[in-house]
């Protein structure tokens, strides 16, 4: 892309400025959490004319962000998030801080993107509760608070609302506005989907719904669908994620069935999806990221309270959680046919991200597979050019990855990866095995090059 094109695209982004007046109640916005959701959301408000403060507890992240550095790979109008960040810093439309007190005091609209992590199947509310405490201590009459995290249904009214009222001494719906809006973006498409994905918002009263819709409408140009039932909006978001977890588990079982029949799962899915009411997902190495693997655990506590059996959803989650083990055992099975064990071989892993073309390795099946391989004695190297996390087994080049490899796992695609079989065989040991979970290599090409090839 030429510099002129980049400049034109930057100009296009700046022209999105809503020309919000300096005294507008919507002008000053604070976004809690500056991760994969919070940073692109904050910048989306900034380049549309708002003054935005991004709050995060990670001082190193805040310092990097204020220096114009980010590991995120989002783009908008073909302009990188790093370029947009630096532009907004230069325009003084955006800054990051660990000072939650002043950030809230300077803002009229506070948006919370702090997540609820899951550990050993149990949810942890500490981060969200602490954010609400900091907000409550500094909340002013007339402020708007929007919770924009994926939460256990009921969290906004049963957890956030009491904390905000307790620490502020104010009454929600009377002294300040309170709403919940679903976060529905896919990483890699954040700017585009914040603007063009319909936004769901629930609020405690009509005034809060109107105010939240106005603020969200600065960024969202698609429909803003309002509801007087916050819990319904919270639940719809969790259902959106759980149905994908369920569908992915189903696609894996379909893959095992077609493997048994000796036919190609990807061809079968392509044929089935010609039906206008069918949309089968393609199988992969597992379910990763922050949203889908956690979704069932957001439903489970409420289901227990209601004495409901969610066995289908629970089974799907368990099946997907076991996928890394399945792929490691598949490797052992293929090696056994050659009279080898995992402890005998060099393993090369393409990809550490939780999905293709992402740098997010949170709850990544690829990382889980690597850990299992190491536990079983494999000599392991992994390569992912855009995941910033450091691992003892991570290498910097494909040549280093493939040197003397006996077994290759293809788990995540990145733009710079080369899966040409002739190139792969230059570095690997003879008769190496390829386990291709992304269907990037043709079986006949792999076998022609001397590989033993297995595709999901």
DSSP string, 424-440: HTTTSPTT-EEEESS--
Count of domains for the chain: 3
Q: What is the pLDDT of residues 44-58, one digit of tens each?
A: 999 999 999 999 999
Is there a single domain that holds both residue 303 and residue 346?
Answer: no
Q: What is the pLDDT of residues 272-321, one digit of tens each?
A: 999 999 999 999 999 998 889 999 999 998 999 999 999 999 999 999 99
CA pair distance 5, 12, nearest whole angstrom: 10
CA distances from 291 to 33, 117, 231, 240, 425 (A): 16, 10, 18, 10, 37
Is there a single domain that holds both residue 218 and residue 277?
Answer: no
Helix, strand, coil percentages, rounded to 5, for the chain: 45, 15, 40
Q: 387: domain CATH number?
A: 3.40.50.720
Q: What is the pLDDT of residues 213-236, one digit of tens each?
A: 999 999 999 999 999 999 999 999
Residues 164-187 have a mean pLDDT of 96
Q: What is the pLDDT of residues 28-78, one digit of tens each?
A: 999 999 999 999 999 999 999 999 999 999 999 999 999 999 999 999 989
Domain boundary among 181, 207, 228: 228
- Assess whether pLDDT exceeds 80 at residue 4: no
Share of the chain above pLDDT 70, in %: 96
Q: What is the pLDDT of residues 86-145, one digit of tens each?
A: 999 999 999 999 999 999 999 999 999 999 998 888 899 999 999 999 999 999 999 999
Q: Whose CA is closest to 424, among 455, 446, 394?
A: 446
Domain boundary among 228, 249, 272: 228
Is there a single domain that holds both residue 112 and residue 181?
Answer: yes
- Assess whether pLDDT exceeds 60 at residue 6: no
Is there a single domain that holds both residue 181 and residue 284?
Answer: no
Is there a single domain that holds both residue 123 and residue 184?
Answer: yes
Q: 244: domain CATH number?
A: 1.10.1040.10
CA distances from 204 to 125, 212, 347, 385 (A): 21, 11, 54, 45
Q: What is the pLDDT of residues 232-283, one digit of tens each?
A: 999 999 999 999 999 999 999 999 999 999 999 999 999 999 999 999 999 9
- Assess whether pLDDT exceeds 60 at residue 421: yes
Q: Which domain holds residue 329?
A: 323-455
Is there a single domain that holds both residue 31 and residue 160?
Answer: yes
The total of other beta-carbon atoms located within 10 Å of residue 267's CB is: 10
Is there a single domain that holds both residue 90 and residue 153?
Answer: yes
Q: Whose CA is closest to 109, among 211, 231, 193?
A: 211
Determine the pLDDT at residue 2: 47
């Amino acid at each position: 892309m030429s510099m002129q094109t980049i400049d034109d695209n930057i100009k296009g982004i700046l022209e999105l400025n809503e020309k919000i007046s300096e005294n507008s109640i919507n002008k000053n916005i604070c976004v809690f959490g500056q991760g994969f959701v919070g940073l692109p959301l904050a910048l989306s408000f900034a380049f549309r004319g708002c003054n935005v403060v991004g709050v995060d507890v990670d001082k190193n992240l805040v310092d990097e962000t204020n220096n114009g550095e980010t590991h995120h790979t989002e783009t908008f109008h073909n302009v990188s998030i790093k370029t947009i960040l630096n532009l907004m810093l230069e325009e003084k439309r955006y800054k990051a801080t660990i000072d939650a007190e002043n950030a809230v005091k300077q803002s009229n609209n506070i948006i919370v993107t702090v997540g609820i992590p899951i550990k050993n199947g149990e949810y942890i509310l500490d981060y969200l509760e602490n954010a609400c405490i900091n907000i409550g201590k500094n909340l002013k009459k007339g402020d708007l608070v929007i919770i924009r995290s994926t939460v256990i249904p009921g969290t906004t009214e049963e957890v956030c609302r009491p904390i905000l009222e307790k620490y502020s001494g104010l009454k929600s719906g009377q002294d300040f506005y309170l709403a919940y809006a679903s976060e529905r973006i896919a990483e890699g498409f954040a700017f585009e989907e914040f603007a063009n994905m319909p936004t769901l918002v629930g609020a405690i009263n009509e005034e809060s719904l109107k105010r939240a819709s106005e603020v969200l409408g600065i960024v969202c140009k698609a429909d803003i669908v309002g509801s007087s039932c916050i819990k319904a909006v919270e639940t719809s978001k969790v259902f959106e994620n759980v149905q994908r977890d369920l569908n992915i588990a189903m696609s894996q079982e379909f893959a095992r069935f077609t493997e048994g029949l000796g036919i190609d799962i990807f061809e079968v899915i392509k044929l089935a999806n010609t039906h206008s009411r069918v949309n089968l997902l393609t199988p992969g190495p597992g379910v990763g990221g922050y949203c889908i693997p956690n979704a069932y655990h957001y439903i489970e506590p409420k289901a227990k309270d209601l004495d409901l059996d969610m066995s289908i959803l629970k089974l799907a989650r368990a099946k997907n959680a076991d996928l890394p083990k399945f792929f490691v055992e598949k490797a052992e099975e293929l090696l056994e046919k050659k009279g080898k064990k995992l402890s005998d071989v060099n393993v090369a892993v393409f990809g550490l991200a939780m999905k293709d073309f992402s740098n997010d390795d949170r709850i990544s099946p690829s990382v889980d597979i690597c850990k299992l391989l190491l536990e079983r004695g494999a000599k392991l190297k992994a390569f992912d050019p855009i995941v910033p996390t450091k691992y003892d087994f991570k290498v910097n080049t494909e040549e280093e990855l493939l040197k003397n490899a006996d077994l290759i796992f293809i788990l995540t695609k990145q733009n710079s990866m080369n899966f040409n079989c002739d190139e792969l065989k230059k570095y690997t040991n003879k008769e190496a095995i390829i386990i291709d979970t992304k269907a990037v290599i043709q079986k006949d090409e792999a076998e022609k090059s001397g590989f033993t090839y297995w595709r999901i």
